[in-house]
Amino acid sequence: MVDGDIESHVRQMREISEGRAGHGDGSAYEQATRYYLEHLADACAQQARDSRLDLPPRVDLLICMTGMSPRPVVLAFKILRPARLVLITSDAAQDTIDVVHENVVARGLLRASEFSARPCVSTDPLSIYRIVREEVDIVARRHDGPVAAYIDITGGRKVMGASAALAAWQLNLGLSYVDGDYDPVLRQAVPGSDRMLVLDNPTSLFGEQEMDVATQAFASGNFEVARSRFAVLAERLVQPGLARFMAALSGLYRAWCDLDRDAMPKAVAQVRAALGSARRDVSEETVRTVHAQLQLLSELATGDSRALLLTFSLLDEHYRGVGRHDFAALFSYRTIEHCLSAHLKRKYGFACDAPDYARLTGDRAALAQRYRDTVNAVRNVQGRPSLPSNPGPFAAAVLLKVIDDPLAAAAGLDTVDGLRELERLAKARNASVLAHGEQFISQHQSEELNAKANEVLRAYWRAHRPGEELGAARSELAFVRGAS
């Protein structure tokens, strides 16, 4: 949460970053950084301290990986308030060293003797380890008890951070990292969004095993468990972008699978926000898929028929893939039902929930007789079924057959055997525990319903969306299965 005072300074910093205002010499980025250090660093550090009750009460030594920006070092220093500050730098960080010295030593926050900058070979883990070991030994000689030492890996090159993490593990030191919400205009985290992460156990820093467990839950369709696990990881990983994105995506998929329209808008917004900061960790294929899914869900919110049909089809495939055959059968049935009712509505203006048979024929009596004859043939009885007051999928299919609609033939519903198969499948679904009965849908029944749903959907698609390839649309929208 960014408070009002910080927010006003952030607006000015943004003006400087975009070149609409100035603050001293140098590039727009350098001027904006200077403005941040003068007007925002103290308030941001205090806000970060206030938001964490578990910060170490004493830090004897803070070793910061240091790159081209002084901001991470100054902010980490002001949050943790160490007695000694050491910068481990690359050769190109001389200007950064000067700025840190100006903002820490020159302003009386630290004695000059407690400030040191140590150049390293950034690609040599042993170089960084030796520096860390020497600096810990220097402080240890001054203390009788254990040294409270931390390595901050917010700044510097990634390879430096990795080497520092290894050193921390070897020497049993803590690790710290300042996280924040990245802003592409400022080219850094939004001031005030800073979160100090402190890890006393560096082996938990990267969370590979925990990520694997969360990913397995995600791949199995247990999206709420996956969301919870990814969310916990996002709070403590040094690079939380992927975990945060997967937590948001898990929440979205849960809402989607439940067709929870109340939860959907917030879930969509969270995925959009998280995807921006995880782009480097997510494959282009996943990015394209998620963007397509977000677009579909936006259309679904408006009641779009295409979006609804694709959602039924996607959820059918998802639930069958994770072995939830009752749920899969439900969506197969809804696919068939919607295709047939939507076709009648679009082509004839005939609404199944308020049928007006005059829209199908001018001879209602002849229609009723053909309907009765067809139903009797399917059921091998001599009953007197009348035109239904609320046609379901079977009745809708019979109506399409008796008026010789081409969709009936295209969907395999223009014969007695085809209609008999549809009624059998509909009865199996209606007898399931998720409908009106007490039976469980078997894998075989689920596969049969899915095959019929796909046949009907393909026929509907050819009739109403001839310019769009159904297979390509479904492939583009298929659920992501892993964290990549």
With beta carbons less than 8 A apart as the criterion, state whether 283 and 484 touch.
yes
pLDDT tens column, 271-290: 999 998 888 889 999 999 99
pLDDT tens column, 140-191: 998 877 889 999 999 888 888 888 888 888 888 888 988 888 877 767 778 8
pLDDT tens column, 392-448: 999 999 999 999 999 999 999 999 999 999 999 988 888 887 877 778 889 999 999
Per mean pLDDT, which range of 101-105, 196-200, 468-472 is the poorest? Answer: 196-200
pLDDT tens column, 325-357: 999 999 999 999 999 999 999 999 999 999 999
With beta carbons less than 8 A apart as the criterion, state whether 215 and 281 touch.
no
Two tokens at 262? 């109340």
Residue boundaries of the structural domains of the chain:
4-203, 208-282, 313-477
Q: Is the domain covering 4-203 a CATH 3.40.50.10770 domain? A: yes
Which residue's entry shows tokens 């929440």? 251
Using a pLDDT cut of 70, give the percent of the chain over it.
97
The answer, yes or no, to whether residue 42 has pLDDT greater than 60, is yes
CA dist., res. 360 & res. 356, Å (int) = 8
Average pLDDT over residues 226-235: 91
Task: Give the mean pLDDT of the chain.
Answer: 90
HSE toward the beta carbon, residue 46, CA cutoff 13 A: 8
- CA 199 from centre of chain: 25
479 closest CA partner among 336, 341, 297: 297
The answer, yes or no, to whether residue 133 has pLDDT greater than 90, is yes
**pTM value surpassing 0.75:** no
The answer, yes or no, to whether residue 243 has pLDDT greater than 80, is yes
